[in-house]
Structure 1
Amino acid sequence: MNPATDSACFTLDFGFPVPGAAPTNGGWRLSWPTCLAMGIVNVTPDSFSDGGRDGEAALKHAWQLLADGALILDIGGESTRPGASPIDAATELDRVLPVIRGLSGSGAVLSIDTLKPEVADAALVAGAHLVNDVSGLRDPEMRAVCAARGAPAAIMHMRGEPRTMQREIHYDDVVAEVFGFLQAQAALALDAGVPGVLLDPGIGFGKTPAHNLALLRALPELTALGYPVLLGASRKKFLAALSGEPQAAAHTRDAASLAVHLHAARCGAALVRVHDVRSHVLALRVQSALEGA
């Protein structure tokens, strides 16, 4: 089984040297003592608060997230929001590679947020360390890339694809189906030689608000599976309804995002994927102190 958590520590294994990781008999292991933040760096035309329209703006944003205390930077060049249309690999690489190369040697742990094996492979060669695949490593080629490069992967649950995922949503038992999928995909990945995995229930990806709430309430079941859990609810639309501000713009949802992510940390999540890194880092530190961690 992939190393996950004990009472004091989360770990993730790599097949190559990674900033902050310690050598092991079979590779390198990154360890951290409590739930920390993964900062969002999107390099897409519709990004307005999490990167920017170009590589220069994204790099500036990335350096700020590092200064704010992000453990990992998650760099993406293709929008995966509901209704988003796919782009070709060349366009995606033109967006993300300059940012990855610009952060090479920065001491940051870099994640490539992509659905495409060819993008993941090129990003890892350019200096990324981790693959964040919202399609859940369904593509055997993606598992093969991660195994060959020695890169761990974040496995997320998504029904369908971003363009269609919010249409005709149905689950007989959303918790059993999502968690069962993640556990099965983790086993496939590790059997294929992927050195480590994170599990992400995919909040907002092919789920109704009721499904999202059910998954959030059941997070202790997911963290009990023995794999580190990544939770990303930052600024998602369902939070506006929960907070009573359904017309609120995305950037006004940070307080609601923080509430969900603190809940995830209390349930044993290893990482939260966020836009507002500084507020999350400070709040997670306070919560850790209150819990005596």
Structure 2
Amino acid sequence: MKKIEIKNHKIISQIKLSNLPSRIDLETGDDEVKVELRKIRRKLGKLQDTLYAHGKYSILVCLQGMDTSGKDSLIREVFKDFNARGVEVMSFKVPTELELKHDYLWRHYLALPARGKFGVHNRTHYENVLVTRVHPNYILGEKLPNIHSIEDVNDAFWDKRFEQINNFEKHLAENGTVIFKFFMNLSKDEQKRRLLRRLDLKHKNWKFSAGDLKERKLWDKYMECYEDAINRTSKAHAPWFNIPADNKPVARLTVATILYNTLKAYEDIKEPELDAKTKANIEVYRQELNNE
């Protein structure tokens, strides 16, 4: 099987989305890919235990992609071997009435993982420069000062919002959060196939929404906004990764491999040693237990 290289997915310079692959060939079948994923996710689970004991880093995993790009199933398969206490999954929907009474980053701050934990965000703070940019009328619902009409949601507004997001992520990184941002790069043809599958299979019908077709008509605008967001916000401390998403098993393995190979390079993530007094008395404690 062809090796997955982080450098082939990490975005370190300006990109054109049309030049990024939505499918890669690992020169093997899906069965072998699934076997490899099981190996990697077990390693990730053990690494998370160490991360939890170490207690100095938190991991923020951001998943962004068009409808049907496989975010939900990826979360289920990649984090299956984690201790439940070590991973928290959040799925961000349309802001609630309470959330709209706060700034747009407020609900994302509340969902940040504690030290020692993974936080997996299915749709993220980037919805605020993607969906809202395709539908700028949504910004009016935030009731912002000096935003009175669609005309006020201009280039200067988006420049400021990207600056705020970059500052938000820089602040997190400087305080011990390791950030991974994965763009689930799905082709328009593959989305069509998956939407048809939702219609054709009765047990998948519940996933279908007529709204998916309305958003699909705006595909080119979404790609334009994704490209701009990625180019403005892929930083060394918070990089974007292109994840070819047309093949779900390969996408899952790619994300798991990037997570594991990046985190295992952190040499300071290790289980803490016992204090000198406890270590010196291990035999005493053992005897006490054995003599009960």
Q: TM-score range by the shorter chain?
A: 0.3 to 0.5
Q: Which structure would you say has the larger Rg?
A: 2
Higher relative contact order (CA 8 A, sep 6+): 2
Higher strand share: 1
| Larger helix proportion of the pair | 2
If the length of structure 1 is used for normalisation, what is the TM-score? 0.33
Q: If the length of structure 2 is used for normalisation, what is the TM-score?
A: 0.33
